[in-house]
């Protein structure tokens, strides 16, 4: 197998699997912190049960995140040695910061939180939970900085032997691309966390268990999810799209399935791109909207893919579908949570089984939206590994063959299958036991 293709497959597979867990960690961390804080303050056993329940689920999720994160940290060196050598001076920095500032914080305080779980929540544990949350968020920030530099390189100078050397660390860490990308990633994860909390609560209500706590879960989950699903589109999604328009116009054209440049370009809601014949099949258009979204003007010119040489096109179909899945799901989340909040205000939510069913079954979908979003941003970046500077094909390790990578992909697949099954078993078991299930260990 072609080496670069194997490396890309392995990276895509392992990162998409890894990302399943940080979403939960980033999104659930504030709930864990809030419940622990509340329990430490009130001393109420029900609050303590909620805190313990979410801490346990968080911990299982965290462990899976760590286990799948270690390969990510090493893969730049193992599979992308040429990229690491040329760009390590820059991308190594946020990764080192993540290790020193975020991972230690997160894991040491999580250890403290789990250790104290046997007893009643204390002030110290409440602080530990806040630190864990801070660690998870920081780690998300630094990794997004890494990715943002690859999307939009800044703060570097060309060095000897085809390397890119860091010149201004603040420009890298605080780049506007990184800030808005993080905001969007962060909202995506918080939306997921809120929908998990709501979904678990809905399940308990439907199963007629844990009713008092379940109502709290559903209430706080749906309200938060409603707010975050708006923030996912405006302002964060919108600004990400603006950045793409400004810096990566080819990606924008692929996302929208726009082959021919147009004044007053329409927005395709539905349609099937065909990159061979360079058309969008069976489209449903809203006229002028794309020009408006991209440039704030219904008549502006938007460049289509044909304005660029074929070799600079990303895989069009994948980028297009992934983008439409993300935005479509985002719209659906907005609609459903708005309805749920309305029912909540009318005091009918807890007694509307249909809505509870929907909330419960909705849990996997924010994961899909998040993964699809990453496919847009990473596949859409092709053929560049560092946008405009280095081709993906030039980035892989010269001493590792495609066959070797294929072998390790299979190894990862086996290991991750095991991990996935066990993760689901544990989380479902914990949910089955429920928050008020008595602690195994005598206090």
Partner 1 sequence: MPTVGYCVIALMLTAYVLLDGFDLGVASIAPFIARNDNERRIAMESIGPFWNGNEVCLIAAGAALFALFPSAYAASFSGFYLPFMVVLWLLMFRGISLELREHLSSDLWHQFWDAAFWASSTLLIVLFGVALGNLIRGVPLDASGYFKGSFSFLLNPYAIAVALLAVCVLGFHGAAFARLRIDGPPAVRAASALTALWWCVAALYVIVSAATLYLRGFDGHWATYACGAIALAALIAMRLALGRSDVAAFAASSLFLIALMGAAAATMYPYILPGYPPGSGGLSIEAAAPSVAAMTTALTVTIGGGIAVFAYGSLVFRRMAGKLRVEDVTQ
- Provide the Cα torsion 199, 204, 207, 208; round to 10°: -140
Dig out the tokens for 279 from the structure: 């058309």
Among 135, 155, 366, 395, binds ligand HDD (CB under 6 A): 366
Total of chain residues touching ligand HEM, rule CB under 6 A: 40
Q: Give the DSSP H/E element, type plus range, for residue 298.
A: none
- Burial (CB count <10 Å: 0-12, 13-18, 19+), residue 189: buried
Candidate ranges 92-100, 217-225, 337-345, 365-373; the one touching partner 1 (CB under 8 A): 92-100
168 vs 172: CA distance, rounded Å = 7
> In terms of CB distance, is 128 or 232 closer to ligand HDD?
232
Q: What is the DSSP letter of 439?
A: P
Locate tokens 């179909």: which residue?
A: 317
330 binds, among ligand HEM, ligand HDD, partner 1, none (CB under 5 to 8 A by kind): ligand HDD
Q: How far is the CB of 5 from ligand HEM (least distance, A)?
A: 8
Comparing CA positions, the residue from 138, 103, 135, 132 lying closest to residue 117 is 132
Among 3, 6, 10, 21, binds ligand HEM (CB under 6 A): 21
Residue 309, classified by CB atoms within 10 Å of its CB into exposed (0-12), middle (13-18) or buried (19+), is exposed
Q: Is 330 an interacting residue with respect to ligand HDD (CB under 6 A)?
A: yes
Q: CB neighbours of 181 closer than 8 A, spacing ≥ 6?
A: 144, 147, 148, 151, 240, 243, 377
70 sits near ligand HEM (criterion: CB under 6 A): yes
Q: Could you tell me which stretch among 5-13, 48-56, 213-221, 329-337 binds ligand HEM (CB under 6 A)?
A: 5-13
**Nearer to ligand HEM (CB atom), residue 80 or residue 333:** 80
The verdict on 369 binding ligand HDD (CB under 6 A) reads yes
Per CB under 6 A, 380 contacts ligand HDD: yes
Of residues 204 and 313, the one with the C-beta less far from ligand HDD: 313
What SS3 class is residue 33?
Answer: helix
Q: Is 153 in the site for ligand HDD (CB under 6 A)?
A: no
Choose which of 99, 287, 335, 353 interacts with partner 1 (CB under 8 A). 99
The reply on whether position 303 binds ligand HEM by CB under 6 A is no
* CA-angle at 420, arms to 414 and 425, nearest 5°: 130
Q: CA 292 from chain center: how many Å?
A: 27
Q: Vertex 427, ends 426 and 429: CA angle to 5°?
A: 65
Q: Which of the choices ligand HDD, ligand HEM, partner 1, none does residue 26 contact, using the CB cut-off of 5 to 8 A by kind? A: ligand HEM
Q: Does 14 bind ligand HEM (CB under 6 A)?
A: no
Could you tell me the two tokens for 215?
Answer: 């109502």
Under the binding rule (CB under 8 A), the answer on residue 60 touching partner 1 is: yes
Tell me the HSE value of 253 on the side-chain side, using a 13 A CA sphere.
26
* Binding flags for ligand HDD, 196-235, as an x/- string (CB under 6 A): ------------------------------------xx--
Q: Which does 140 bind (CB under 5 to 8 A by kind): ligand HEM, partner 1, ligand HDD, none?
A: ligand HEM
Q: In the bound complex, what is the minimum distance in angstroms from residue 3's beta carbon to ligand HEM? A: 12
**Residues forming beta bridges with residue 281, ordered by sequence position:** 272
Q: Which of residues 243-282 bind partner 1 (CB under 8 A)?
A: none
Q: Which burial class, exposed, middle or buried, applies to 208 when counting CB atoms under 10 A from its CB (0-12, 13-18, 19+)?
A: exposed
Side-chain-side CA neighbours of 142 within 13 Å: the count stands at 21
Tokens representing residue 21 in the block:
């867990």
Residues in the site for ligand HEM, rule: CB under 6 A? 8, 11-12, 15-16, 18-19, 21-22, 25-26, 61-62, 65-66, 69-70, 72-73, 80, 103, 106-107, 136, 139-140, 143-144, 146-147, 150, 185, 371, 374-375, 378-379, 382, 385, 392
* Interaction site with ligand HDD (CB under 6 A): 151, 181, 184-185, 188, 191-192, 232-233, 237-238, 240-241, 244, 251, 326-327, 329-331, 333, 366, 369-370, 373-374, 376-377, 380
């Amino acid at each position: 197998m072609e080496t670069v293709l194997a490396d890309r497959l392995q990276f895509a597979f392992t990162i998409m699997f890894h990302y399943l867990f940080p979403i939960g960690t980033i999104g659930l961390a504030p709930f864990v912190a809030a419940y622990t804080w509340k329990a430490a303050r009130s001393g109420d056993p029900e609050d303590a049960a909620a805190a313990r329940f979410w801490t346990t689920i968080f911990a299982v999720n965290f462990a899976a995140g760590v286990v799948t994160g270690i390969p990510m940290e090493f893969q730049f060196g193992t599979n992308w040695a040429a990229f690491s050598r040329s760009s390590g001076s820059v991308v190594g920095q946020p990764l080192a910061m993540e290790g020193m500032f975020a991972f230690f914080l997160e894991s040491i305080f999580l250890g403290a939180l789990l250790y104290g779980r046997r007893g009643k929540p204390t002030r110290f544990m409440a602080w530990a939970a806040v630190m864990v949350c801070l660690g998870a968020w920081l780690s998300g920030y630094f990794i997004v900085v890494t990715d943002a530099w690859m999307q939009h390189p800044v703060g570097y100078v060309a060095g000897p032997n085809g390397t890119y050397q860091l010149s201004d660390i603040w420009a890298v860490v605080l780049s506007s691309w990184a800030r808005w990308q993080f905001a969007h990633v962060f909202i995506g994860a918080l939306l997921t966390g809120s929908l998990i909390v709501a979904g678990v609560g809905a399940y308990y209500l439907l199963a007629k268990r844990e009713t008092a706590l379940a109502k709290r879960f559903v209430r706080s989950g749906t309200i938060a999810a409603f707010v975050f699903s708006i923030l996912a589109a405006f302002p964060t999604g919108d600004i990400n799209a603006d950045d793409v328009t400004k810096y990566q116009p080819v990606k924008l054209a692929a996302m929208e399935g726009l082959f021919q440049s147009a004044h007053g370009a329409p927005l395709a809601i539905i349609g099937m791109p065909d990159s061979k014949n360079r058309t969008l099949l069976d489209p449903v258009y809203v006229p002028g909207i794309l020009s408006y979204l991209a440039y704030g003007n219904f008549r502006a010119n938007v460049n289509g893919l044909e304005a660029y040489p074929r070799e600079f096109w990303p895989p069009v179909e994948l980028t297009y579908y992934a983008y439409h899945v993300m935005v479509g799901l985002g719209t659906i989340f907005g609609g459903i949570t708005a309805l749920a909040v309305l029912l909540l205000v009318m005091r009918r939510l807890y007694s509307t089984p249909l809505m509870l069913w929907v909330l419960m079954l909705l849990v996997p979908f924010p994961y899909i939206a998040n993964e699809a979003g990453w496919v847009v941003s990473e596949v859409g970046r092709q053929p560049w590994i560092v946008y405009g500077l280095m081709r993906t094909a030039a980035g892989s390790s010269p001493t590792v063959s495609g066959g070797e990578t294929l072998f390790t992909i299979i190894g990862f697949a086996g290991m991750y299958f095991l991990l996935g099954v066990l993760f689901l078993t544990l989380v479902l078991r914990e949910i089955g036991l429920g928050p008020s299930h008595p602690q195994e260990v005598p206090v």
